[in-house]
Amino acid sequence: MTSRDYLHKAFLLAKGANLKQIRPNPFVGAIVVSQDGEIIGEGYHQKAGEAHAEVFAIQAALLKNLDLSEATLYVTLEPCSHIGKTPACTDLIIQHKIKKVVIGSLDPNPLVSGAKKLFDHGVIVETIITPEIVELNNVFNINQIKKRPKYILKSATTINGQIADRFGNSKWISNAKSRAYVHEFLRARVDAILTTAKTIMNDNASMNIRLEGTAPTELNLIVIDKHLDLLKKENEQLPIFYKRINSKIYLVTDKSFEGKLRTDVELIKVDMRNKKIDLTQLSSQLLSKNICEVLIEGGGVLNASMIQEKIVDEVFMFICPSINTDSSALNAYSSNQVQKMDELMKLSLLETKVFDNDILLKYKVLITKS
């Protein structure tokens, strides 16, 4: 087996982690290989705050071979060199005199300089940047480099780009298979949904995860609610106020609230800029609450604001087989801001899927704000 083969096996191990259990940490897999090419230890990071992949792999190898001085450690991410909730993995590697470490991707965290520390202690270090390994930690990399959550924008539109009629009715533009995909593959993977109070009230939305054959699963909800309309008595029966045990509703505002909040409701105070919520402040606060990936499910104004601020990373567009000719119908992106052709956000098509007559277009945003 080649070094890339061993790294691929470590990559497959890393993918075994439950992303909700490891966040805000990255996916990491590690394999210890003996001098004759035998895999003698393997492991992956399983839960935030607990042992890293290298620890599991080295401990497993020690059960078979106490002398690791001729062994090679293959790890998908640069070993940590600082002490956080767990000891530095570089110290463990150096302690057991592992001869060589092969790394599949570098850690964007400036606190990590594991490759240099290992090299300085006489360990042979080889870096083989592997695209599939880098992509696996796409969310972690965005969190570290851009200091904000990863944002995914989802919308379902008519062929001519409208998300609702002039009265706000949007049920249903997309079909049942498209909606099931949103719950199973988008809502289930993110840490929260971002929307507006207007969308919540217009759609009478619950914003949870609903999969066929299972009870609904709760999900954090972030609501831009400048005037705290959702806290008015007439709105206390809205479906979003279901009993929550492991999630919260975060109301984003620049206002204060004098009454008593439900235990599952929390205010996020942010400044207003040009009558708009400061999305940079909001992003920073969300990341501090371990909200690493966010799905945007709002109206045209919110969608346009997120695009204008250049903090959207991926776009999932469901193009559905209908046309609304009403010029007052609601568009997927709605703004009065002048935008010239050379100012358009550029996208790269990553994937297409077909759900009966609906077409899903998945895009990566090419240029985002750092």
Rounded distance between C-alpha atoms, residue 220 and residue 248, angstroms: 5
Q: Cβ(330)–Cβ(168) under 8 Å?
A: yes
CB atoms within 10 A of CB 296: 23
**Strand 358-365 with 347-355, pairing:** antiparallel
Task: Find the catalytic residue in 54, 293, 297, 314.
Answer: 54
DSSP code for 261: P
**Strand 150-157 with 314-319, pairing:** parallel
Q: Is residue 54 annotated as part of the catalytic site, yes or no?
A: yes
Q: Closest Cα partner for 319 from 153, 163, 152?
A: 163
Rounded distance between C-alpha atoms, residue 188 and residue 209, angstroms: 7
Q: Is the dihedral of CA 321, 325, 328, 334 positive or negative?
A: positive
Rounded distance between C-alpha atoms, residue 177 and residue 194, angstroms: 22
Question: Which residues are part of the catalytic machinery?
Answer: 54
